Structure 1
Amino acid sequence: MPQARPLPGYLAQRYHGWRATSYAENRTWHRRLAEEGQRPRAMVVACCDSRVNVISVFSAEEGELFIHRNIANVVPPYAPDGDHHGTSAAVEYAVKHLKVAHILVMGHSQCGGIRGCHDMCAGKAPDLEEKTSFIGRWMDILRPSYERQSGIEDEAERLRAMEKDGLLVSLENLMSFPFVRAAVEAEDLTLHAIWNDLGEGTLEYYDQHTDRFVLV
């Protein structure tokens, strides 16, 4: 394929550095993972944002977390219509095959996807309203969050509220998957909504008893 080029130089240098240090020091563990397969205890649905580093936040090692990333860390509703559903396929694999005990939907501050959803719903981003916009059609999933938070006058507060409320939309959508609901009701699986403040480095989780996000 003529469009494929060699790995960028700076990434190649970082790879060689990793293989000479971290990999070399943990060679046995890496080979064990390769031979025995993965047994992650948790799945994390996180944002594509390059500032979100799930591995660092949880000090995770290889094989510990099954991570799926997409724009604005969204889980769509259950819709087995034959179309391509990368996120739904990842959820199915995590629950039915890996038997994870936890699914964490992890949002963050200053999320560009949430900003895009907000602006589109507010009529400020006509390009996202086009049927050909993949981002816009993906952000349609979070329209309920915009509607629920539209009464907040301050835009910054409204966006932050949407970042958190969008996590609850995804949890609601997760429960629409029959195999997820069955695992939750059997107490084999727990669902979690967590929000990361990028600047402060804090984590908050949704407490269903108080109906608010609280610090971890």
Structure 2
Amino acid sequence: MEFARPLPSYLVQRYHGWKATAYKENQGWYRRLATEGQRPRAMVISCCDSRVHVTSIFGADQGEFFIHRNIANLVPPYQPDGDHHGTSATIEYAVTVLKVSHLIVLGHSQCGGVQGCIDMCHGHAPALEAKESFVGRWMDILKPKFELVRDIEDPEVQARQFERQAVVASLENLMTFPFVASAVEAGSMSLHGLWTDIGEGGLECYDPKADKFQKV
């Protein structure tokens, strides 16, 4: 492998700082995690966006959350076609092996993936429309929901509402997975849809009865 390079020096320094402080002070806990395995209570599907820090938002410790991140926190429909499905594989493992009690979809404000989907729907993103665009084809999952926000004239309001619809789309697609539906119907696992405002630190939870997001 000719292309791999040494870790940047600032990351090396940060690692040694962590090893000498946080790890050293909790060495027993880390060793327990290593020997006893993981038992997370919840799985979180969030966006890859570097500004979304799931463990910080909830003050979670190591071993508490099983986290999967992808563009725009999307879940594809259940489709066992033999192709590679990273998100679907992660969900399967969390539900059938780890048997998490909660499955959370976390969306966020200023989501670039969602904005890209808006641009596609307006015909302003030819690069994303190209067949070879991985991002574009991934955002096809969300495109049908655009009809719910198409008539919103304010671009910012439209984007924020579409970000919330990305969460709803993922919740709906989760229920197409037989093992997810079975766990939910049996009461052994619950689904939760959240949206966070990065700038304000706000958090909203989806209420299916009212079909809207409520402040937490």
Cα deviation, residue 78, structure 1: 0.2
Cα deviation, residue 97, structure 1: 0.2
* 2:57 aligned residue: 57
* Alignment TM-score, normalising by the size of structure 2: 0.99
Q: For 1:72 and 1:166, locate their aligned partners in 2 and report how far apart those are by CA, in whole Å.
A: 7
> How many matched pairs?
216
* 2:181 aligned residue: 181
Cα deviation, residue 209, structure 1: 2.3
Q: For 2:87 and 2:46, locate their aligned partners in 1 and report how far apart those are by CA, in whole Å.
A: 11
* 1:167 aligned residue: 167
* 1:98 aligned residue: 98
Cα deviation, residue 151, structure 1: 1.4
Q: For 1:209 and 1:130, locate their aligned partners in 2 and report how far apart those are by CA, in whole Å.
A: 38
Q: For 2:147 and 2:132, locate their aligned partners in 1 and report how far apart those are by CA, in whole Å.
A: 23
Per-residue Cα deviation, 1:190-212 (whole angstroms, up to 9, x for no partner): 00110000000010000122221
Residue identity in the other structure for 1:98: L
Identical-pair percentage:
64
Q: Please list every run of at least 4 consecutive aligned residues from structure 1 whose deviation after the TM superposition is greater than 6 angstroms.
A: none
Q: For 1:48 and 1:98, locate their aligned partners in 2 and report how far apart those are by CA, in whole Å.
A: 22
Q: What are the residue-to-residue correspondences of 1:77-156 with 2, within 5 Å? A: 77-156=77-156
Residue identity in the other structure for 2:169: V
* 2:39 aligned residue: 39
Per-residue Cα deviation, 1:57-89 (whole angstroms, up to 9, x for no partner): 010000000000000000110000011100000
Cα deviation, residue 187, structure 1: 0.4
Q: For 1:13 and 1:215, locate their aligned partners in 2 and report how far apart those are by CA, in whole Å.
A: 39
Per-residue Cα deviation, 1:170-195 (whole angstroms, up to 9, x for no partner): 00000000000000000011001100
Q: For 1:93 and 1:197, locate their aligned partners in 2 and report how far apart those are by CA, in whole Å.
A: 29
Q: For 2:210 and 2:117, locate their aligned partners in 1 and report how far apart those are by CA, in whole Å.
A: 27
Q: For 2:97 and 2:37, locate their aligned partners in 1 and report how far apart those are by CA, in whole Å.
A: 12
* 2:208 aligned residue: 208
* 2:22 aligned residue: 22
Residue identity in the other structure for 1:80: P
SS at match of 1:141: coil
Structure 1 stretches lacking a partner, 5+ long: none
Q: For 1:208 and 1:45, locate their aligned partners in 2 and report how far apart those are by CA, in whole Å.
A: 19
* 1:12 aligned residue: 12
Structure 2 stretches lacking a partner, 5+ long: none
Q: For 2:149 and 2:17, locate their aligned partners in 1 and report how far apart those are by CA, in whole Å.
A: 47
* Alignment TM-score, normalising by the size of structure 1: 0.99
Cα deviation, residue 154, structure 1: 1.1
